[in-house]
Amino acid sequence: MIKRVLIANRGEIALRIIRSCKELGVESVAIYAEADKDSLHVKLADKAMCIGKGSIAETYLNKKEIITAAKVAKADAIHPGYGFLSENCEFAEMVPANGIIFIGPTSDTISRMGDKIAAVKTALNANVPVIPGSHGPVDSDELVVEIARQIGFPLIIKAAAGGGGKGMRIVREVAQLTDNLHTARSEARNFFGNDSVYIERYIEVGRHVEVQVLADSYENAVALGERDCSIQRRHQKLVEESPAPFLPPEVRREMFDASVRLAKETGYTGVGTVEFILDEQNRFYFIEMNTRIQVEHPVTELCTDVDLVKYQILTAAGEKLPFTQQQIFHEGHSIECRINAENPEMGFIPSPGKITHLVLPGGPGVRVDSHIYAGYTIPHQYDSLIAKIIVHAEDRPSAIARMKRALGEFHVEGIDTTIPLHLKIMSNEVFQKGKFNTCFIENEKILG
Ligand code: MV4
């Protein structure tokens, strides 16, 4: 069994991991950059180690330094959280090479899913529906025109090394194809150091629905429900919920089966998320797989009563899943609002600084995952997520009412937040009807 875990992260997710460690009786070791010395994860962990006052690259991304810290602390495992080194296949290889357990899938799985072309090929092998496309790199201008004519327009050019919406270009007619291809390729080379690109039919009006999977190292894998993450702005998710509104039960079942097949195909261990695009006819298509714990994991936890971080740790320690797919239930409705220290009226400009006054929401069915406290100064160096409010209620209308109540109780002074934006979303008629897609924020003029 794992006795001590080093947490290679900060903010709310570091706290979230510490909490599961405590409940498991596992010791937690926090690492922190000097800028985070007053952070809650430093105070709540059993032990905290400063890894310098440098940049992110020199601290939370410093593979060697983090592994050295784990050795000094005698940690037997490292939890990477999300972001930072969580999907870095080099790190996932270095950690076990140093005799430490990496809490996550193997380096090979991370690398296979990190290459979006390899991921699509893996999905095809597992008989998981994929979008009509090149299903491989497009190298020559002649070839791309031929493939494009077969799949039809509009289409989308994606970088093999991209993901999460980075390095995508939409093309509406054949005349724009080669120019866009060249631009996409040079952008991919600049951003990712890899100019490999592929094309897919672009699904213009769709929903972003993802399936949470959990697997042990004995070929057992289960699906723990889906999350609708269609409410986004520039590929930053704002609101997530489970179950996905109006998802037919047979489609949901097929998505779960497909996701479990993919997990088994890759010999997956731990938690993962299979992302799909759902078209207007509720046909689903694989787009990519995330090999980390995700920001929005709590909506699944509240509906299934499964502690995902706990099972990440237990499966990494070599334990078997104690439940089968048939034993998993999904109850009620859950919604998460991501609260950022940003001003939505000023193009979401970050708003770091000191929190002078704070009242967090609470009461029945309200969970707050946050690292902030009154008197805390939000550093400017990092992501602007300051809190996640997650509600659970018997049905969707009650969950929305509960979220409105929780947002109304949330008082933060000293910084700007996205709380007013979330109140607008919760009060929007299209949102309330559950009839939204990925164009919601634009179409509904939520931003005025
Ligand atoms: C797509 C797509 C439609 N068609 N691919 C965005 C994030 C990354 N995980 C993949 N993404 C998408 N890929 C095809 N072939 C739609 C999305 C997408 C999206 C696109 C535009 C605006 C918002 C979006 C939100 C989620 C997914």
287 lines ligand 1 (CB under 6 A): yes
What is d(CA 17, CA 71) in angstroms, rounded to the nearest whole number? 19
Q: Where does 115-173 have alpha helices with state H?
A: 116-125, 141-151
Specify the DSSP class assigned to residue 130. Answer: B
Percent helix, percent strand, percent coil in the chain, to nearest 5: 35, 25, 35
What dotted CATH number matches 132-201? 3.30.1490.20
What secondary structure does DSSP assign to 18-40, as a single string? HHHHHHHT-EEEEEE-GGGTT-H
Specify the DSSP class assigned to residue 204. Answer: S
Instruction: List phi, psi (to 5°) of 229.
Output: -120, 35
113 lines ligand 1 (CB under 6 A): no
The domain spans of the chain are: 4-103, 132-201, 207-443
pLDDT at res. 164: 78
164 lines ligand 1 (CB under 6 A): yes
pLDDT at res. 426: 98
Residues 294-311 have pLDDT tens digits of 999 999 999 999 999 999
pLDDT at res. 447: 87
Picking from 171, 128, 129, the residue whose alpha carbon sits closest to that of residue 153 is 171
> 438 C-alpha vs ligand 1 centroid, how far in Å?
8
Q: For ligand 1, atom 15, name the residue with the nearest CA.
A: 202
Q: For the chain, how many helices (H) and strands (E)?
A: 15, 22
422 lines ligand 1 (CB under 6 A): no
Question: Over the chain, what is the mean pLDDT?
Answer: 97
Task: Write out the H or E segment, with its range, that includes residue 238.
Answer: strand 236-242
4-103: CATH topology:
Rossmann fold (3.40.50)
> 98 C-alpha vs ligand 1 centroid, how far in Å?
38
Q: Is 121 strand, coil or helix? A: helix
Q: Is 120 strand, coil or helix? A: helix
Token representation of residue 162: 């991209």
The CATH class of 207-443 is alpha beta
pLDDT at res. 156: 97
- Ligand 1 atom nearest residue 275's Cα: 9
Q: Which of the residues are catalytic? A: 292
12 lines ligand 1 (CB under 6 A): no
Full pLDDT tens readout for the chain, 448 residues = 899 999 999 999 999 999 999 999 999 999 999 999 999 999 999 999 999 999 999 999 999 999 999 999 999 999 999 999 999 999 999 999 999 999 999 999 999 999 999 999 999 999 999 999 999 999 888 889 999 999 999 999 999 998 877 779 999 999 999 999 999 999 999 999 999 999 999 999 999 999 999 999 999 999 999 999 999 999 999 999 999 999 999 999 999 999 999 999 999 999 999 999 999 999 999 999 999 999 999 999 999 999 999 999 999 999 999 999 999 999 999 999 999 999 999 999 999 999 999 999 999 999 999 999 999 999 999 999 999 999 999 999 999 999 999 999 999 999 999 999 999 999 999 999 999 999 999 999 888 7
End-to-end alpha carbon distance in the chain: 53
pLDDT at res. 165: 78
